[in-house]
Structure 1
Amino acid sequence: MNTNFPDIPASPKTTFSARPVTLRINGNPVELNVLPWVSLLDALREYAGLTGTKKGCDHGQCGACTVLCDGERILSCLTLAVMKEGSEITTIEGVAQDGELHPLQKAFIEHDAFQCGYCTPGQICSAIGLLREGKAETRDEVKELMSGNLCRCGANTNIIDAIMDVKNLSAHE
């Protein structure tokens, strides 16, 4: 009995155990044993050893943790790993194909679209998702739809330049 609140019975002790979660990460099937409250971000970094996805605010406000889940951009810090059972997850480590950088990775280099680089993995994953969505037609629309990914260094103009370059290249193909 809790002595501070005599009318409220003490809650029974609850124990939780890890549960297996199967994900397809960067094209490879991976089974992780995670506790039910482990975020996808922590599962990727701590359980799968993929540290390219960054933990920024851990509250869904900065976009540093953005990954692609079944082709769509998500904030991995706000997503429980167990919720994504069977999903295809693409992290920055899986963006390049056959040793060839993704066009957005090349454009980020060409446009010097990073300074410290901490936000870059989330920016690139978000930009890939953005381009797949096909919603952004103008520079202002790209800027708005990328506003959930913060760059504290001030490389935002160069980031938008890089995205627009890739957008314009793919429009001409």
Structure 2
Amino acid sequence: MEVTINLNGTPETHDVEPRLLLVHFIREKAGLRGTHWGCDTSNCGTCVVWLDGKPVKSCTVLAAMADGREVRTVEGLEQGGQLDPVQQGFMECHGLQCGFCTPGMLMTARALLDRNPDPSEPEIREAISGQLCRCTGYENIVRSVRWAAEKEATEAEEVTA
């Protein structure tokens, strides 16, 4: 079957088997390797992307279910040559080690900050609770998200001043 997905603002059309998972469409058909595939059971969260603006684990969504819809991947966070504050936060606060879980963490953190620009530590931990990181104790990940929230608040204040 033919599937067209608006992937980070660009239509991607490919012939796929009806059983193809969205994560495989993104990686194998569209050639975007930022979305990682970790478990196929929705346990790890490395494959989180946005489907019509909402975070989903792309290993549990069929590509056919995304036909005609908007999908944003970690590659879509950077805009106009500028890293998203969440990406900057992960760099500044060492929010990654091996980097495998990072794309899913970034997408989840961005979604959190979009709906709650000033989350508390418990709110951050709850938001990323569906993401497994086998390398860290989550401390630097939480710091990275707080850094991004504070950066965005500072930038917003500068704009209104």
Q: Structure 2 vs 1, CA of residues 83 and 136 (structure 1 numbering), >3 Å: closer, same or farther?
A: farther
The letter for the 2-side match of 1:101 is: L
Aligned-residue CA RMSD in angstroms? 1.5
Secondary structure of the residue aligned to 1:42 is helix
User: Counterpart of 2:56?
Assistant: 74
For residues 41-87 of structure 1, the C-alpha deviation after alignment (integer angstroms, 9 at most, x for no partner) is 01111111111100111110000000111211110000011011111
> Aligned partners of 1:43, 1:166: CA distance in 2, in Å?
30
* Shift in alpha-carbon separation, 1:101–1:149, aligned structure 2, 3 A: same
* Structure 2 counterpart of 1:103, one-letter code: P
- Name the CA shift for 1:79/1:136 in 2 (closer, same or farther; >3 Å): farther
Scaled by the length of structure 1, the TM-score of the pair is 0.84
What is the CA-CA distance between 1:156 and the residue it aligns to?
A: 1.1
Shift of 1:27: 0.9
Equivalenced residue count is 155
Gaps of 5+ in 2: 157-161
1:137 to partner: Cα distance:
3.1
> Which aligned pairs between 1:24-43 and structure 2 lie closer than 5 A?
24-43=6-25
Structure with more relative contact order (C-alpha pairs < 8 Å, separation 6 or more): 2
- Indicate the residue corresponding to 1:99 in structure 2: 81
Compare the two structures and name the one with the higher helix fraction: 2
Aligned-pair distance for 1:135? 8.6
Q: Which runs of at least 4 in structure 1 moved beyond 4 Å after TM superposition?
A: none
1:145 alignment counterpart: 127
- Higher CA-based Rg: 1
- Structure 2 distance, partners of 1:61, 1:85, is 24
1:118 aligns with 2:97: no
The structure 1 residue matched to 2:3, chosen from 14, 21, 38, is: 21
Among the aligned pairs, what percent are the same residue? Answer: 40
Instruction: Calculate the TM-score normalised by the size of structure 2.
Output: 0.90
Take 1:74 and 1:152, find their aligned partners in 2: how far apart are those partners?
Answer: 21
The 8 Å contact of residues 113 and 119 in structure 2, kept in 1 or not, is answered as no
